[in-house]
Copies of this chain bind each other. A is one copy, B any other.
Amino acid sequence: MTKPHVDLYWDIGSTNTYFAFKLLQPIVARHGAELVLHPYNLGYVFRNNDYELMKESKAKLRYRKRDLMRWAEKHQLPFQIPRQFPIKSSRVLRGSLAMRQKGLEVAFVEAALEAYWEQGNAGIVEYAGLRPIAERLGVDPDWFEATSASDETGALLAKSTDDAVARGVFGVPMMFVGDEMFWGKDRLDFMEDELARATA
């Protein structure tokens, strides 16, 4: 029997990715499943779809902030809305693929999400800001930066995003259990129901 898994498509630029990532892990562990990460270049997809992130009304943006703080409070997460937003996420996404080679993808993504969404550290958009994370995880920062910046990694990231779009992923955080797709931090209960069925 293969170990059941949950696919998570993520981008650090997505607030809800932060929440989903944090709330997903205990669920995955509870069911003895594995978390499989897929970087998804949201900016790239949005550019191709003429999406304008900041087009929403003031009332809606104000509500969204309130809603995020409610989630943080309910789940006791030290979330803060960063001053710099949106950010360019491609280096973090590339970095995750480099760290995958060391078996440290999940730890790296978690550290980057915390740096940005808890500490408001927008320095992670550059390799200079990511190198200390790699180093803390025991990875040579020169190797980390060279591997992240390589053409191979760039092609892998493009393929990860293209494959996701082909699978029907139109945004993040998107999760799959088998072929069942779940979108957003507020569908984790449905995702867990499906995971329970899949692992029964």
Contact = CB atoms under 8 A, between A and B. Distances in A.
A62 B190 contact: no
A168 B74 contact: no
Contacts of A171: 60
B170 A74 contact: no
Nearest to A187: B67
Interface of A: 49, 57, 59-60, 62-63, 66-67, 70, 74, 168-171, 181, 183, 186-187, 190, 193
Each complex incorporates copies of this chain amounting to: 2
Contact of A170 (B57, B67, B70, B193): B57
A63 B190 contact: no
Contacts of A63: 168, 170, 181, 183
A59 B165 CA distance: 9
Nearest to A66: B181
A59 B170 contact: yes
A187 B64 CA distance: 12
A183 B193 CA distance: 24
A190 B59 contact: no
